[in-house]
Amino acid sequence: MSDSDTLEKASASTGHTLTGGKRQRSRQIKCDAQDTFPAPCSRCVGTQPTPLCRVDPNYRRSRKRPVKATDAPSSTNRRTSISSSLSTPLARNIELAISSASTLPRPLVPLVPLTQVSGLATVISDEQLAQAIWPSVFELGGVHVSIEQATTLFDEFFEHFHPSCPMFLTSRAPVPTHRTDPLLFWAILAVASRGPPLPSGMQKILQGVSYEALAEQVKASVAALGIYPPRTPSVVQALLLLCEWPLPAKSSRDDRTWHYSSLAIQTALQIGLHRPQFPHEFTSRIEEQVAAETVEGQERTLAWIYCHIIGYRYASSPALMLLFSYHTLLL
């Protein structure tokens, strides 16, 4: 039995014309062509000649009724209907203000003031640009250190202090260190400024640099780490330097070396210094996954070793419990 004969009989029996949806349903009722292929379906097997029995899977019903413009009320009609339902004078005034504001052209606000567009090249002077690229003065709170003073203190640190705690495999320069690791920069300055009396020439250069002022500002900087802790190896190195050469304290309660030691250990554990072969377990950023064989990777391992050395030292003196277990020393 063909599809056309079936549709004609269905139309004659019901007295109604089959629409698109009914035609599609009638084509698919009791049609097992997919199971009996290549033979016709069980419904059409006795029909001569044998029709081509198939079901169109991509059939979609076509919309016969056109969409009228009046079906979706315009925004003007909606505002009119809403305004007619508002009874209070305040609501009517608000509606009038909204309708009038929508018809007025909106002024364009430039991202750069017009007074600066013509003289944009003179907004940043050469001195300000040079200060941004290669600063001549470093500032922390109320402490100001010139580039010459910072260079002198860095040389003093790596010549006299670093051999006692060789935490770095390469020397550091003031400007790059301040740009990438500011806490480490100020920790090195604080440690170097506490040294013995310098020669007269160096004393003249370092005139105005106060160890007490630097120590107070470094304490405030470390205290700010509790709010936004930057988890980087340089933070661990800076804290370890402040533990190796403690900042001045007026009493035992003001001594913060135990706090700095625990903070360095916890930060080292969070960034994975105890697992140098598996940096991908602690960060998804490729640039932070440092190989253990590189210079930076070896400095990370040295920082973790000094975490143990300093942690044992400060835990044994007041008979406190260690902040880590013994097996974490295995690298």
Could you tell me if 272 and 290 are in contact, meaning their C-beta atoms sit under 8 angstroms apart? Answer: no
Burial state string for 216-239 with b = 16 or more CB within 10 A and e = fewer than 16: bbbbebbeebeeeeebbbbbbbbb
What Å distances lie between residue 216 and 108, 211, 226, CA to CA?
49, 9, 17
More confident residue, 167 or 72: 167
Structure tokens at 156: 């003093």
- 268 occurs within a structural domain: yes
pLDDT-derived band at 293 (thresholds 50, 70, 90) equals: confident
- 106 occurs within a structural domain: no
More confident residue, 73 or 245: 245
Mean pLDDT on 322-328: 60
- 224 occurs within a structural domain: yes
- 95 occurs within a structural domain: no
Domain total of the chain: 1
Q: Percentage of residues in the chain with pLDDT exceeding 70?
A: 57
DSSP character at residue 275:
-
pLDDT over 50 (residue 307)? yes
Could you tell me if 222 and 216 are in contact, meaning their C-beta atoms sit under 8 angstroms apart? Answer: no
End-to-end CA distance of the chain: 81
Q: What is the span of the domain harbouring residue 298?
A: 136-328
The model's pTM is 0.58
Query: Rounded CA gap, 237 and 239, in Å?
Result: 5
- Other C-beta atoms within 10 Å of 179: how many? 12
pLDDT over 90 (residue 237)? yes
- 11 occurs within a structural domain: no
Q: Percentage of residues in the chain with pLDDT exceeding 90?
A: 27
pLDDT of 104-155, one tens digit each?
554 544 444 444 444 444 466 666 665 566 678 899 988 999 999 999 999 9
